[in-house]
Amino acid sequence: MDFTIAAIITIVGLTTPILLAGLGELVVEKSGVLNLGVEGLMLVGAISGFGVTVFTFNPWAGVLGAAVGGALASLIFAVLVLQLNSNQVATGLALTIFGTGVSSLIGVNFTGRIVAPFGSIFPDALARDPFWKLFFGYSPIVYFAIIMVFVVGWFLKRTRAGLILRAVGENDLSAHSIGYSVIRVRYMAIAFGGAMAGIGGAYFSLVITPMWAEKMTAGRGWIALALVVFAGWRTGRLLAGAYFFGILMALELYAKAAGFSFLPSQFWAAMPYAMTVVALAIISSRGTAGASAPACLGKPFTPST
Amino acid sequence: MRYKLEKRREPSMAMLVITPVASVIVTMLVGILAFDALGVDGWAAVRDIFLTPLLASHKWQDVAVKAAPLVIIALGLSVGNRAQVWNIGAEGQYVIGALAAAGVGLAFGQAGGFFVILAMIAAGCLGGALWALIPAVLRTRFSVNEVLSSLMLTYVSLQVLGYLVGGPWKDPNGRNFPATAPLPEGQMLPALDGSTIHLGIVVALILPFAFWLLMSRSTFGYQVRVVGSSPHAARHGGFDAKQTIWATMLIGGAMAGLAGSLELTGALHKVDLGFASGYGFTAIIVAFLGRLNPFGCLLAGIVLAVTSVGGQLAKTTVHIPDSTAGIFQAMMLFLILASDILIRYRIAKRA
Amino acid sequence: MTISRRNLLKGAAAAPLASMALPAFAQDKIKIGFIFLGPVGDYGWTWAHNKGREAVEAALGDKVETIYTENVAEDASAEAAIRDLCNAGCKLVFTTSYGYMDQTIKVAAEFPDVKFEHCTGFKRADNVSTYNSKFHEGRAVLGTIAGKMSKSGTLGYLGSFKVPEVVLGVNAFALAAQKQNPAATVKLVMIDSWFDPPKEAAATETLVNLGCDVVTTHTDSPAALQILEQKGLFGFGQGADMSTFAPTAHLTAIEDIWGPYYVARAQAIVDGTWASADTWDGMKEGTVVISPYNAAIPADVAALADGVQAGYKDGTYDIFTGPIFDQDGVERVKAGEVMALADLAVIDWFVKGVESAS
pLDDT tens column, A193-217: 999 999 999 999 999 999 998 888 8
Q: What are residue A279's DSSP bridge partners?
A: none
CATH code of the domain in which C86 resides: 3.40.50.2300
In this complex, do A270 and B338 lie within 8 Å of one another by their Cβ atoms? no
> For chain B, which residues make up each domain, given as ranges?
39-320
**Which position has the higher pLDDT, B225 or B75?**
B75
pLDDT of A278 higher than 90: no
Burial B314-351 (b: 16+ CB within 10 A, else e): bbbbbbbbbbbbbbbbbbbbbbbbbbbbbbbbeeeeee
pLDDT tens column, A71-81: 999 999 999 99
Of A119, A208, A210, the CB nearest to C198: A208
Residue A247: inside a domain, yes or no?
no
C86: domain range? 30-133
Do C230 and C93 share a structural domain? no
Residue C204: inside a domain, yes or no?
yes
**Which position has the higher pLDDT, A289 or C241?**
C241
pLDDT of B37 higher than 50: yes
User: Quick one: pLDDT at residue B39?
Assistant: 79
Residue of chain A with shortest Cα separation from B160: A266
Do C168 and C105 share a structural domain? no
> What is the spatial distance between Cα B320 and Cα B348, in angstroms, rounded to a whole number?
40
Residue C16: inside a domain, yes or no?
no
pLDDT of A289 higher than 60: no
User: Quick one: pLDDT at residue A252?
Assistant: 86
pLDDT tens column, A79-135: 999 998 888 988 999 999 999 989 988 888 888 788 888 988 899 888 888 899 899
| Chain A residues within 8 A of B276 when measuring between CB atoms | none
Q: Domains in chain A: how many in total?
A: 1
User: Quick one: pLDDT at residue B224?
Assistant: 84
Do C127 and C77 share a structural domain? yes
Residue A40: inside a domain, yes or no?
yes
pLDDT band at C317 (very low <50, low <70, confident <90, very high): very high
User: Quick one: pLDDT at residue C27?
Assistant: 54
In this complex, do B340 and A86 lie within 8 Å of one another by their Cβ atoms? yes
In SS3 terms, chain B reads as: CCEEEEECCCCCHHHHHHHHHHHHHHHHHHHHHHHHHCCCCHHHHHHHHHHHHHHCHHHHHHHHHHHHHHHHHHHHHHHHHHCCCCCCCHHHHHHHHHHHHHHHHHHCCCCCCHHHHHHHHHHHHHHHHHHHHHHHHHHHHHCCCHHHHHHHHHHHHHHHHHHHHHCCCCCCCCCCCCECCCCCHHHCCCECCCCCCEHHHHHHHHHHHHHHHHHHHCHHHHHHHHHHHCHHHHHHCCCCHHHHHHHHHHHHHHHHHHHHHHHHHHHHCCCECCCCCCHHHHHHHHHHHCCCCHHHHHHHHHHHHHHHHHHHHHHHHCCCCHHHHHHHHHHHHHHHHHHCHHHHEEEEECC
pLDDT band at C261 (very low <50, low <70, confident <90, very high): very high
Query: Mean pLDDT lowest for which of A10-24, B133-147, C299-313?
Result: B133-147
pLDDT of C16 higher than 60: no
Q: What are phi and psi of A235, to 5 degrees?
A: -70, -45
Neighbours of C182 (CB within 10 A): 10
Residue C9: inside a domain, yes or no?
no
Residue A109: inside a domain, yes or no?
yes
Residue A248: inside a domain, yes or no?
no
The mean per-residue pLDDT over the stretch C252-275 comes to 95
Do C125 and C42 share a structural domain? yes
Kindly state the percentage of chain B with pLDDT values over 70. 99
User: Quick one: pLDDT at residue C14?
Assistant: 34
Do C185 and C84 share a structural domain? no
Of A86, A276, A297, the CB nearest to B152: A276
Residue A111: inside a domain, yes or no?
yes
Residue of chain B with shortest Cα separation from C111: B194
Mean pLDDT of chain C: 89
pLDDT tens column, C76-113: 889 999 999 999 899 999 999 998 999 999 999 999 99
B290 residue type, one letter: G
pLDDT band at A287 (very low <50, low <70, confident <90, very high): low
- Do B183 and B105 meet the contact criterion of CB atoms below 8 Å apart? yes
| Chain A residues within 8 A of C14 when measuring between CB atoms | 108
Residue A184: inside a domain, yes or no?
yes
pLDDT tens column, A246-272: 998 898 899 888 877 777 888 888 888
ipTM of the complex: 0.90
Residue of chain C with shortest Cα separation from A119: C230
Query: Mean pLDDT lowest for which of A224-233, A289-298, B85-94, C312-321?
Result: A289-298
Query: Helices A2-30 and A235-257: crossing angle, nearest 10°?
Result: 140
pLDDT tens column, B228-252: 777 777 777 777 788 888 999 999 9
Q: Which of B319, B323, B328 is the best residue to mutate to test the C interface, defined by the most C CB atoms within 10 Å of its own CB?
A: B319
Do C112 and C223 share a structural domain? no
B11 touches A at CB < 8 Å: no
User: Quick one: pLDDT at residue A271?
Assistant: 85
Do C227 and C114 share a structural domain? no
> What is the spatial distance between Cα A265 and Cα A256, in angstroms, rounded to a whole number?
8
Do C107 and C247 share a structural domain? no
Choosing from C80, C114, C133, the residue where a domain stops is C133
Q: Which class is B39-320 in CATH?
A: mainly alpha
pLDDT band at C22 (very low <50, low <70, confident <90, very high): very low
Q: Domains in chain C: how many in total?
A: 2
Chains that touch A (3 or more CB pairs under 8 A): B, C
Residue A302: inside a domain, yes or no?
no
B101: left (phi over 0), alpha (psi -120 to 50) or beta: alpha
User: Quick one: pLDDT at residue A203?
Assistant: 97
A146: domain range? 2-217
pLDDT of C5 higher than 50: no
Residue A179: inside a domain, yes or no?
yes
**Which position has the higher pLDDT, B151 or B17?**
B151
Do C155 and C110 share a structural domain? no
Residue C100, SS3 per DSSP: helix
Q: Which of C43, C193, C210 is the best residue to mutate to test the A interface, defined by the most A CB atoms within 10 Å of its own CB?
A: C210
User: Quick one: pLDDT at residue C10?
Assistant: 32
> What is the spatial distance between Cα B200 and Cα C9, in angstroms, rounded to a whole number?
38
**Which position has the higher pLDDT, A19 or A262?**
A19
Residue C199: inside a domain, yes or no?
yes
Residue C14: inside a domain, yes or no?
no
Per-window interface: C 17-46 vs B, CB < 8 A: 17-22, 39
> What is the spatial distance between Cα B207 and Cα B201, in angstroms, rounded to a whole number?
10
With 0-12 CB in 10 A as exposed, 13-18 as middle and 19+ as buried, what is C340? exposed
Do C183 and C37 share a structural domain? no
- Comparing CA positions, the residue from B240, B198, B252 lying closest to residue B81 is B252
User: Quick one: pLDDT at residue B162?
Assistant: 92
pLDDT of B6 higher than 90: no
| Chain C residues within 8 A of B66 when measuring between CB atoms | 76-77
- Comparing CA positions, the residue from C283, C351, C346 lying closest to residue C317 is C283
Of B141, B328, B337, the CB nearest to A90: B337
Residue C196: inside a domain, yes or no?
yes
B340 residue type, one letter: D
